[in-house]
Amino acid sequence: MKDFDALKDLWSGQTNDPKMDYEGVLKDVRKSGSAMANRLMTESLAMLAGVMTFGWIWLEGSFLLWTTHLSIAILVACCIYYLTVQLTDYRRLSSGKDVLQKPDLYISYLQKYQRERYNFNTRNYKIYSIFIGIALALFAIELYYISPVWQSIICLIFSIGWFIMCWRLMISYRIKEQERINEMITKLERIKKQFD
């Protein structure tokens, strides 16, 4: 049988020391900083390429209908929206400012962040997909007038197939995500009660 003082002696005599030094931490800070910057850069460049491609098509193409102009404008807006959200989230995570709060406030921040991400991955993604769908449908109107019927049909089949695939993937992703988020929020709420 040991009392608390015996446990304290055991604790103070432990040889469990961290196996790292501050120079190693600094090395990793620089490495992770550049990894984050590279990821950001790659994503930004990919989205920028998308925006430029649509812009180029918009400027160079001679479209007959106003619906096509609207279609391209929607696609460009979707790309910019997605890029803005990603950039904001990365900046927020990399700054690490929230971690300086008191633990009870930090738990509230984590709960809020989880819900925001959940909304982004479900509700906002749904709206995002609907806009992409509208853009493709508007584009299909012009395609119907300028292309042979078989090309229009292939384009229509491809678009519908793509949507069904995305929808199915999103359903399974949403179910998994929901379970995970619910589990996390339950845990955080349980911890929050401990700090109240």
Partner 1 sequence: MAKKEVLFGEIFKANSKKIYHLCYGYTGDEAAAHDLMQETFMKVWQNLEGFRNQAMISTWVYRIAVNTCLSWLRVEKRQAKDPLTDYIIENSREEISEKNDQVEKLYKCIAQLEENERLIITMVLDEVPYPEIAEISSVSEGNLRVKIHRIKHKLTEIYNRYERF
Residues that bind partner 1 (CB under 8 A): 1-4, 7-8, 10-22, 25-26, 28-29, 32, 94-107, 110, 114, 184, 187-188, 190-191, 194-195
Cβ closest to partner 1, residue 88 vs residue 101? 101
Cβ closest to partner 1, residue 97 vs residue 150? 97
Min CB(13)–partner 1 separation in Å: 8
The helix (H) or strand (E) run that includes residue 137 is helix 125-146
Min CB(27)–partner 1 separation in Å: 11
Q: Who's near 70: CB < 8 A, 6+ residues apart?
A: 135, 138
**DSSP per-residue letters across 66-87:** HHHHHHHHHHHHHHHHHHHHHH
Contact present, 81 and 125 (Cβ < 8 Å):
no
Contact present, 185 and 111 (Cβ < 8 Å):
yes
Min CB(40)–partner 1 separation in Å: 16
Min CB(99)–partner 1 separation in Å: 5
Cβ closest to partner 1, residue 59 vs residue 99? 99
Q: In angstroms, rounded to a whole number, what is the distance separating the alpha carbons of residues 90 and 87? A: 5
Reduced 3-state DSSP string for 24-42:
HHHHHHHHHHHHHHHHHHH
Cβ closest to partner 1, residue 123 vs residue 176? 176
